[in-house]
Amino acid sequence: DQQVKQNSPSLSVQEGRISILNCDYTNSMFDYFLWYKKYPAEGPTFLISISSIKDKNEDGRFTVFLNKSAKHLSLHIVPSQPGDSAVYFCAASPIIQGAQKLVFGQGTRLTINP
Amino acid sequence: GAGVSQSPSNKVTEKGKDVELRCDPISGHTALYWYRQRLGQGLEFLIYFQGNSAPDKSGLPSDRFSAERTGESVSTLTIQRTQQEDSAVYLCASSPDGYNEQFFGPGTRLTVL
């Protein structure tokens, strides 16, 4: 049972344009969401997060949108740069006392074309 | 400062052998996690340590898998009698307190022949 789904295994975007990565979840107990970026042969690195009390969080070129009613979140990167080419994972967690077990999606490979 | 380190970076073993994977978390981080990523899949939670509390082992796929942590320091993940389906990248992460972002190590790529 895949509780966090990234239905697009890959995405190709031209440099300078907007990249939109999507993520859907099924567990209504999830109330904290994160995006991680992963380069080959490296561990994932934290990019941006959002809690369920917000519907948008922005950090520089990266913005995460959360639609709780649709159980959907998206990551917008604008403008896209060649260094953004990586695999992006969304993750979700129910914030329960003393733990933050993350459930990850399968990842989307983003390629930025010059 | 130093990040999360893992060793070895690559491990090739024969089916049926035992393997030990090591994780050194960021100093001062009380929470430590192990994940597994199979080819083409997302990260799969295995086990979680938080301070002196009993570990959350709910993600371990079978009793061939076990993990230990020495205080708030190094952790080892042991897989006994390895099977081909254990082939994956095993990732370790640590967190300052178990509530905030997790910092990942580079992973150990395990190949079981």
Residue A41 confidence (pLDDT): 84
A63-67, A100-104, B30-34, B97-101: segment of lowest average pLDDT: B97-101
Work out the pLDDT band at B3, boundaries 50, 70, 90.
very high
pLDDT at A7 (0 to 100):
92
Q: Give the DSSP letter of residue B36.
A: E
Tens-digit pLDDT profile for residues B38-80: 988 889 999 999 888 889 999 999 999 999 998 888 999 999 9
Higher-scoring residue by pLDDT: B88, A42: B88
Confidence at residue A56, expressed as pLDDT on a 0 to 100 scale: 96
The answer, for A32 touching chain B at a CB cutoff of 8 Å, is: no
Chain B positions in Cβ-Cβ contact with residue A47 (cut-off 8 Å): none
Q: Catalogue the E-assigned strands of A1-114.
A: 4-5, 10-14, 19-25, 32-38, 45-51, 56-59, 62-67, 72-77, 86-93, 103-104, 108-113
Contact between B50 and A99 under an 8 Å Cβ cutoff? The reply is yes
> What's the CA gap between B84 and B102, in Å, rounded?
29
Confidence of residue B1 (pLDDT cuts 50, 70, 90): low
Per-residue pLDDT of chain A (114 residues; tens, 9 = 90+): 679 999 999 999 999 999 999 999 999 989 899 999 999 888 999 999 998 899 999 999 999 999 999 999 999 999 999 999 999 999 998 876 445 778 899 999 999 999
- Do B98 and A89 lie within an 8 Å CB cutoff? no
Contacts of B103 (CB under 8 A, 6+ apart): A46, B3, B4, B26, B29, B93, B94, B95
A20, B43, A24, A93: CA torsion to nearest 10: -110
With an 8 Å Cβ cutoff, is B100 touching chain A? yes
Tokens read off for A19: 């990249």
Cβ contact, residue pair A43, B45, below 8 Å: no
pLDDT of residue A99: 55
Q: Residue B81: pLDDT above 90?
A: yes
- Residue B54 is given by DSSP the state P
Is B50 within 8 Å of A34 when comparing Cβ atoms?
no
A1 in reach of chain B (CB within 8 A): no
pLDDT band at B37 (very low <50, low <70, confident <90, very high): very high
Mapping DSSP onto H, E and C, the string for B98-111 reads CCCCCEECCCEEEE
* Whether A40 contacts chain B with CB within 8 A: no
CA distance A108 to chain B (A): 10
pLDDT, residue B2, reads: 80
